[in-house]
């Protein structure tokens, strides 16, 4: 199934769909270098944990392709490390950019130390690694979709299911297909989706602006709700499962995701609704034992006090605007859906590679 495309890369040319302009306008903007990518990530022109890492890696590929002047493998290593270290500082909560940077720096170190590899081969191997991120992510998402849909079908045991989701985890947040929205897409393709309820996702409205846009685009049976309607909707519509994405999953399964995820998980427990997290392995941070160590991004207060340029909150009020919250592993009752299968949170630690 053709899904929306938010990241376009060909022969060293990178363009991204400016998500700040959605749903009014579909405008692609060029990313000419790592600095452009850093700014696009920071300003949330591209957002969503996997998409952030892919655009970061591809922006480095753009620069590396243009670079003729590097004469030694050490110069390539230094160039790659400096650029990736910088990209990691763009946003703090999602771990995907950090893990992608660590993997690429490790590769660059290995190529530098391998005497059988010359400079051109080292550069080509690094480029190949960076450019593969796009296709790898789509393949991972297709597998996540399959595993998630099969697990939900097995546990819910109904012909058609009602799903709730939060934030945006679709083609716009990934290289294509999506993670949690990928599972919903797979259910829809298998004619097993009765209805998906997507939350508005205040204050940045990734749900109403982006997920709703994708759902309409894909013609899925979907209903938008405000975040404050989640409990009522669970009760009224007999939701079968909630599925969300992740920005960072700790080794014990605690999961950081868009603010509002934790309250959905608590509500799911009260209403006996299965709660799933869908994320690629590149969102799992095996180095941190629990969600307590996950850095939570604080966002500008204007996201809460204004709608566009219009102030909707009383002037002078103090605000608290964390971009993410942490759902304790015990609330993830359905499981963590990855490209390698569906796991209970307490199974994760043993999967460290
Ligand atoms: C597949 S994306 C999973 C998460 O990154 C997503 O749910 C989310 O929280 C995105 O937050 P955002 O602040 O829009 O980057």
**pLDDT tens-place string over residues 285-333:** 999 999 999 999 999 999 999 998 999 999 999 999 999 999 999 999 9
> Does the structural domain 145-351 have CATH classification 3.40.50.1820?
no
Q: Is 58 in contact with 89 (CB distance < 8 Å)?
A: no
pLDDT tens digit string along 143-194? 999 999 999 999 999 999 999 999 999 999 999 999 999 999 999 999 999 9
Ligand 1 pocket by C-beta < 6 Å: which residues?
Answer: 47-50, 94, 167, 169, 173-174, 179, 206, 245-247, 257-258, 323
C-alpha of residue 325 to centroid of ligand 1, in Å: 11
Residues near 24 by beta carbon (within 8 Å), at least 6 away in sequence = none
What distance in angstroms lies between residue 240's CA and the mean position of ligand 1's atoms?
Answer: 23
Residues 223, 233: Cα–Cα separation, whole Å: 10
Tell me the ipTM for this assembly: 0.98
Looking from the CA of residue 169, the nearest atom of ligand 1 is 1
CATH 1.20.120.420 boundaries in the chain: 7-136
- Residues of each domain in the chain carrying CATH 3.40.50.10470: 145-351
Residue ranges, the chain, pLDDT below 70: 1-2
Return the pLDDT at 68.
75
Q: Can 247 be counted among the known catalytic residues?
A: yes
Q: Whose CA is nearest to atom 9 of ligand 1?
A: 258
CATH code 1.20.120.420 for 7-136: yes
């Amino acid at each position: 199934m053709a899904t929306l495309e938010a990241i376009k890369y060909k022969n060293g040319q990178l363009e991204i769909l400016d998500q700040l302009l959605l749903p009014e306008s579909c405008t692609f903007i060029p990313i000419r270098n790592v600095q452009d990518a850093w700014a696009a990530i920071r300003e949330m022109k591209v957002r969503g944990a996997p998409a952030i890492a892919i655009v970061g890696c591809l922006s480095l590929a753009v620069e590396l392709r243009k670079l003729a002047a590097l004469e030694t493998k050490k110069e390539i290593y230094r160039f790659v490390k400096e650029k990736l270290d910088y990209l990691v500082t763009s946003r703090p909560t999602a771990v995907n950019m950090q893990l992608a940077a660590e993997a690429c720096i490790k590769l660059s170190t290995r190529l530098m130390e391998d005497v059988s590899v010359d400079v051109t081969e080292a550069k080509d191997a690094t480029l190949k690694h960076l450019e593969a991120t796009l296709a790898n992510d789509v393949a991972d998402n297709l597998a996540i979709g399959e595993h998630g849909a099969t697990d939900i079908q097995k546990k819910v045991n109904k012909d058609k299911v009602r799903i709730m989701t939060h934030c945006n985890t679709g083609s716009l947040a990934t290289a294509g297909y999506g993670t949690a929205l990928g599972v919903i897409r797979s259910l829809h393709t298998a004619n097993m989706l009765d209805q998906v309820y997507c939350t508005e996702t205040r204050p940045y409205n990734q749900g109403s602006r982006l997920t709703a846009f994708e759902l309409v685009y894909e013609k899925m049976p979907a209903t938008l709700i405000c975040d404050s309607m989640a409990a009522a909707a669970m009760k009224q519509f007999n939701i079968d499962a909630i599925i969300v994405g992740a920005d960072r999953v700790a080794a014990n399964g605690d999961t950081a995701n868009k603010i509002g995820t934790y309250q959905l998980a608590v509500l799911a427990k009260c209403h006996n609704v299965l709660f799933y997290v869908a994320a690629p392995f590149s969102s799992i941070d095996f180095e941190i034992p629990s969600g307590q160590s996950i850095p939570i991004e604080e966002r500008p207060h204007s996201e809460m006090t204004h709608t566009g340029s219009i102030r909707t909150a009383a002037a002078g009020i103090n605000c608290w605007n964390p971009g993410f919250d942490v759902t304790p592993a015990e609330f993830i009752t359905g499981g963590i859906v990855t490209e390698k299968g569906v796991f209970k949170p307490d199974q994760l630690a043993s999967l460290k590679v």
